[in-house]
Amino acid sequence: MTLYKVCYPCCMVILQRDVSAMPCIYCNSSQLGDLKEHTSLGYRQWRCYDCKKQFNERTATPFNRISYRTEIVVLVVYHRLRFKLSLDDVVELMATRNVFISHQTVQNWTQWFGPVLGIQLRKFRRNTNGKKWHVDHTEIKVSGRTCYLYRCFDKNGDLVDVMLSDNKSHDAAESFFYQCHDTAGFEPDMITTDQEAALESGLKEVFGERVEHRKSKYMNNRLEQDHRAPKSRYRPMKGFGDEFAAMNFLHSFEELRQHLRAKGCTRSEKRRKSPSKINDLVSLVA
């Protein structure tokens, strides 16, 4: 069972997991001694009677040895990915919560933990997509060169997958369709693309005749309009340094956007739902 409490003075929502039944992370033994002292960040600690090793709540997570609580790291990454904020803006926002970090820390955490968050969110939504997909690509500038961001969404507007490529060719389209298949966990019934030949040949290579291919310039209008979201988000960042950084950022951005998406809600319902969705991020990665 997961509980949350609010920490003062930083007003951070702190995750409180039920860790009473947690086995040893090294040997899986349940013979554990609960240590009285918590870590300096407030995490509970145990010693295993079998392997004699000591560990705490965060030892086996990617956040081990970070000198701030996981909730703070996730909140920084969330601010950086979700909003059009510069590194210094995020630093200033965190300072209002009595959390003092440098702009380089914001950059590092986004690069390290953005993909961690993205991968967990992608696993979480496996087998949830619809069977009619829309695929298109848009141009993204990476260190002065034009790259192509392939994006696939289902009929309801839910993300299937994204991929960045430095060319728009048959091979790029083929690897993107393989990736979409792996992420979704099944083959779709129908894929709609614009009239680009590379997408058609890639689709035939991966799915053959099993998937209906609909070629229409107008049926993909919603997706064409949706390309504005990643483009408008990365524009204030004045471009990406390299393709690796671009793919990391865009993948994490799209996954987070999908996670926070509220369908069929009024604005007030969306406001009520969003705190629990943001808190879910911590329980997903920690």
Binding site for Zn ion (CB under 5 A): 24, 26-27, 29, 48, 50-51
Q: Which is nearer to Zn ion, 22 or 85 (CB)?
A: 22
Between CA 174 and CA 206 the distance in angstroms is 6
**Min separation Cβ 51 and Zn ion, Å:** 3
**Min separation Cβ 59 and Zn ion, Å:** 11
Q: Which is nearer to Zn ion, 25 or 278 (CB)?
A: 25
Q: Which is nearer to Zn ion, 11 or 60 (CB)?
A: 60
Q: Which is nearer to Zn ion, 26 or 68 (CB)?
A: 26
Which two three-digit tokens encode residue 170? 């048959």
Q: What's the chain's Rg over C-alpha atoms?
A: 22
Q: Which is nearer to Zn ion, 27 or 95 (CB)?
A: 27
Which two three-digit tokens encode residue 255? 């996954």
Between CA 227 and CA 286 the distance in angstroms is 31
Between CA 186 and CA 180 the distance in angstroms is 9
Give the DSSP letter of residue 240. Answer: B
Q: Which is nearer to Zn ion, 50 or 139 (CB)?
A: 50
Which two three-digit tokens encode residue 90? 């995020």
**Min separation Cβ 24 and Zn ion, Å:** 3
Between CA 84 and CA 79 the distance in angstroms is 9
**Min separation Cβ 50 and Zn ion, Å:** 5
Give the DSSP letter of residue 14. Answer: E
CB of 234 closer than 8 Å to CB of 227: no
The residue behind tokens 């890639």 is: 202
Q: Which is nearer to Zn ion, 46 or 253 (CB)?
A: 46
Burial of 33 (0-12, 13-18, 19+ CB in 10 A): exposed
**Min separation Cβ 112 and Zn ion, Å:** 28
Q: Identify the CA nearest to 114 among candidates 158, 156, 78.
A: 78
Residue type, 111: Q
Residue type, 84: K
**Min separation Cβ 32 and Zn ion, Å:** 8
Q: Which is nearer to Zn ion, 53 or 125 (CB)?
A: 53
Measured CA distances, 263 to 116, 199, 223, 228 (Å): 25, 29, 16, 19
The residue behind tokens 């990454």 is: 77
**Min separation Cβ 28 and Zn ion, Å:** 7
**Min separation Cβ 139 and Zn ion, Å:** 52
